[in-house]
Amino acid sequence: MLDRKIEDIARIVGSMTPAAYPDPAAFPAVNGDLADVFEAALNALCGPDDDQPAVVRVTDTTEAIKTLVELCADVPPTEIIWQDTSPGESRDAEPVLPRDHAIGITGAVALIAATGSVVLELPSALAGRASLLVDRHIVIASRDQLLPDLAALYHGLSQRVETGDCPPIQVCITGCSRTADIEKMLVVPAHGPRQVQVILSDEPIDWAVLHRGAASLH
Amino acid sequence: MWSFEQDSRERVADTGLADKLHKATVETSLKKTNALIAKMPHWQQLRERARQVKLHTLTHLDRYLRQFVQAAEANGATVAWADTGADACRQVVDIAQSSNVKRVAKAKSMTGEEIEVNRALQRAGIEPVETDLGEMICQLAGEPPSHVTAPIIQWSMEEVARLFKSRGIIDEIPNGIDGRADPAVRALNAARLTDAARRALREKFLTADMGISGANFAVAESGTLVLVENEANIRLSTMLPPVHVAVVGIDKLIPKLADLATFLSLLPVAATGQQQSGYVSLIHRPYAKLHIILLDNGRMRLLADAQHHDLLSCIRCGACMNVCPVYRHVSGHGYHSIYPGPIGAVLTPHLRAEEHYKQLPFASSLCGACAEICPVMIPLDERLLQWRDRIVKAGGRPRSEAAAFAAWAYLMQHPRLYRAVRPPAGLAHAAAGMLGPGGRWKATRELPPLAAETFADWWKKNHA
């Protein structure tokens, strides 16, 4: 059926003048320090009731742990869910019925400076919960993960197709979950997190150290 | 036969409707869209590239469909074809029944609306739950969405609150929701209503046995489905249930993931005046059982239309609706089509066989604002005009109208004759309201008062 239909389409297309595939568009250069651009972009996306900064800058893993513990103060570990990004270690191996948590903690595979976006790769359905079924989503990431714009992200992804290295699911998250369906009034949250906070480290994050240091949050 | 002209008269008379639509478009979405475009030096270049990518894809659609199917199947998806909406619905119901599905979480999807999949599920005893806030309200109210990206664009908060109360989603209608109330209180109430909907839907998400979505883009090189949203309901609908069915029009194909840089820089700006939407999900190797149903439903016929095949490059942003003065007076419901506004007026007569949709290309002032804003550069005003030409040539308009225009054209080309037969201005004005086609034309338009003297006479007197 599918093949036959594609044959039919080939016949239609055969009578059309073929249009050429265009060159990539040139995106304007992102000026300034990418971390600053990212911070400004994400802060601009805060919900109306958000009084906390969207980006907390730290120097290294040790400081990231300290900040994380502070951000999670007064929240019991049972109300915290992690999406583990450390290789070879999966904290969501056990199938658990999904439920809402107060805080979800994830890493990121990239940050997009121009748009204030956080890019996650989700190896499993359960991994998605920490950025979805939570009130606050805390992302721990580092400077070396910053990309200037969406062009860098999607051109990079295209290159990974050839090596068969595409992530099962990638989600590019830009700010909190929101809706403006009722009279175009912005409401936060809709179905997902009310807040996305990024702990942005100058040095790359050592996840093994971070997990040990933040053991009280597990 | 349903008459756009008759039907729209009532809508136009409802000035409250025009007010609401103006506020929701010109004063909000469009303002944000234009502000962002002003800050994008590459906007025109992106539009041109997007148009070219779409035209390239359409003129090589067989190749890209084959590539997509192969890649998606290699990723673990099952790919099928549906000739019609009814065919797609039957397949969706079959999949649901074979997986013993009782409840379906529905991601917002115009394709889903087009094929009326909810009705098919209900008939099969399966509960479809719309999970986008606007779509949920449409479903509760039993009415179709009125805009492709803002389904309840003409609803007031008060109307939403009354509906929620009648369905037990809220206990009491909160104070301070009418248009005159304090904006801060209204904002709080909008949040309350949204929260009530969130709570009502949460349980449905967690217990749904299947998710149904469309796709904003289907990437040929990798077999990836791309879903764009702000609320996170699409993520919940497609990633929590064990089965995911995506009904994807064959017009959604794009060649490469790299092309997303172009399209995702245009779509959110044009649609909602956002630099980027809240969530862009790329489903590559699904963890749910994924069924992709490729939908024709008139698209192949349109592809074969040498003049109009570029209508298949529409990315459903809804910007042409926001800028359209006709849309802003009659609303999406005025078009009686799930695709309203300028794109709906040219697309619907292609996708639907009913004769009455041939009225839609006439529902335009041909101002061209739609073509100017369209992020994929569809020359919508030209397409509207071409449709009119086709319909007139096929005898789809009254003979008297054709005769009147032919006479007018002849007179305009023969100035001596024109001067000889021209009645005094006042009389012409009165006559325009009485004569057959003139009367019909004037019934939906307001003529400015005519001057006592013609321009030619004035010129002769003052400059000759």
Which pLDDT tens digit goes with each residue over A113-140?
999 999 999 987 778 999 999 999 999 9
Domain membership of residue A9 (yes or no) is no
Say if the Cβ atoms of A25 and B81 lie within 8 Å: no
Q: How many other CB atoms are there within 10 angstroms of residue B295's CB atom?
A: 26
Q: How many other CB atoms are there within 10 angstroms of residue B302's CB atom?
A: 18
Element of type H or E holding B344? helix B341-351
Q: Nearest CA to B41 among A18, A118, A31?
A: A31
Say if the Cβ atoms of B231 and A13 lie within 8 Å: no
CB-nearest partner of A19 from B59, B137, B256: B59
Domain membership of residue A167 (yes or no) is yes
The residue range of the domain holding A87 is 32-217
Q: Which residues pair with B293 in a beta bridge?
A: B80, B247
Domain membership of residue A15 (yes or no) is no
Are A33 and A163 spatial neighbours (Cβ–Cβ below 8 Å)? no
Chain B residues close to A184, C-beta within 8 Å: 23-24, 28-29, 150
Q: How many other CB atoms are there within 10 angstroms of residue A206's CB atom?
A: 17
d(CA B454, CA A66): 83
Distance from CA of A2 to the nearest CA of B (A): 6
Interface test with B, best of A191, A194, A196 (most B CBs within 10 A): A191
d(CA B301, CA B313): 14
Q: Which residues pair with B283 in a beta bridge?
A: A169, B225
d(CA A54, CA A51): 9
| 0.90 surpassed by complex ipTM | yes
Distance from CA of B455 to the nearest CA of A (A): 48
Query: In chain A, pLDDT over 70 holds for what percent of residues?
Result: 94
CB-nearest partner of A22 from B53, B132, B284: B53
Q: Count how many domains chain A has.
A: 1
The fold of B46-144+209-299 is: Rossmann fold (3.40.50)
Q: Give the nearest chain A residue to B256 (CA atoms).
A: A158
CATH of the domain at A92: 3.40.50.10420
Q: Give the nearest chain A residue to B146 (CA atoms).
A: A181
Interface test with A, best of B185, B189, B203, B276 (most A CBs within 10 A): B276
What integer pLDDT is reported at residue B434 of this predicted model?
58
All structural domains of chain B with their residue ranges? 4-37+318-393, 46-144+209-299, 403-463
Element of type H or E holding A14? helix A2-14
Q: How many other CB atoms are there within 10 angstroms of residue B442's CB atom?
A: 16
- Predicted confidence band of residue A164 (pLDDT cuts 50, 70, 90): confident
pLDDT digits (tens, 9 = 90+) for B89-141: 999 999 999 999 999 999 999 999 999 999 999 999 999 999 999 999 999 99
Distance from CA of B389 to the nearest CA of A (A): 22
- Kindly report the CA angle at B107 between B104 and B109, in degrees rounded to 5? 120
Element of type H or E holding A119? strand A117-122
Domain membership of residue A146 (yes or no) is yes
Domain membership of residue A12 (yes or no) is no
CB-nearest partner of A2 from B69, B265, B284: B69
Domain membership of residue A13 (yes or no) is no
Say if the Cβ atoms of A26 and B42 lie within 8 Å: yes
What integer pLDDT is reported at residue B311 of this predicted model?
98
Chain A residues close to B193, C-beta within 8 Å: 182
d(CA A174, CA A43): 11
d(CA A127, CA A199): 19
Pair of tokens at residue B62: 């067989």
A91 burial level (CB within 10 Å; 0-12, 13-18, 19+):
middle
CA dihedral B113, B170, B190, A176 (to 10 degrees): -70
Q: What is the SS3 assignment for B130?
A: strand
Q: What is the number of H-type helices and E-type strands within chain A?
A: 5, 9
Distance from CA of A62 to the nearest CA of B (A): 30
What integer pLDDT is reported at residue A90 of this predicted model?
47
Say if the Cβ atoms of A185 and B281 lie within 8 Å: no
Domain membership of residue A17 (yes or no) is no
Size of the A and B interface in Cβ pairs below 8 Å: 250
Q: Give the nearest chain B residue to A177 (CA atoms).
A: B231
CB-nearest partner of B45 from A9, A26, A161: A26
Domain membership of residue A36 (yes or no) is yes
What integer pLDDT is reported at residue B421 of this predicted model?
77
What integer pLDDT is reported at residue B395 of this predicted model?
85
Interface test with A, best of B17, B131, B250, B282 (most A CBs within 10 A): B282
Q: Give the nearest chain A residue to B178 (CA atoms).
A: A183
Q: Give the nearest chain A residue to B138 (CA atoms).
A: A181
Q: Give the nearest chain A residue to B76 (CA atoms).
A: A168
> Can you list the residues of chain B whose pLDDT is less than 50?
none
Say if the Cβ atoms of B282 and A171 lie within 8 Å: yes
pLDDT digits (tens, 9 = 90+) for A167-178: 999 999 999 999
Q: What is the SS3 assignment for B389?
A: helix
Handedness of CA B343, B345, B346, B350 (dihedral sign): positive
Distance from CA of B45 to the nearest CA of A (A): 7
What integer pLDDT is reported at residue B160 of this predicted model?
97
Cis ω before A189 (30° cut-off from 0)? yes
Q: How are beta strands B289-295 and B279-283 bridged, if at all? A: unpaired
Say if the Cβ atoms of B231 and A151 lie within 8 Å: no
Interface test with B, best of A38, A170, A181, A194 (most B CBs within 10 A): A181
Distance from CA of B82 to the nearest CA of A (A): 9
pLDDT digits (tens, 9 = 90+) for B179-228: 899 999 999 999 999 999 999 999 999 999 999 999 999 999 999 999 99
Are B308 and B383 spatial neighbours (Cβ–Cβ below 8 Å)? yes
Pair of tokens at residue B426: 């006042």
Q: Give the nearest chain B residue to A9 (CA atoms).
A: B62
pLDDT digits (tens, 9 = 90+) for A72-111: 999 999 999 998 744 444 444 445 578 899 999 999 999 9
Interface test with A, best of B160, B202, B280, B376 (most A CBs within 10 A): B280
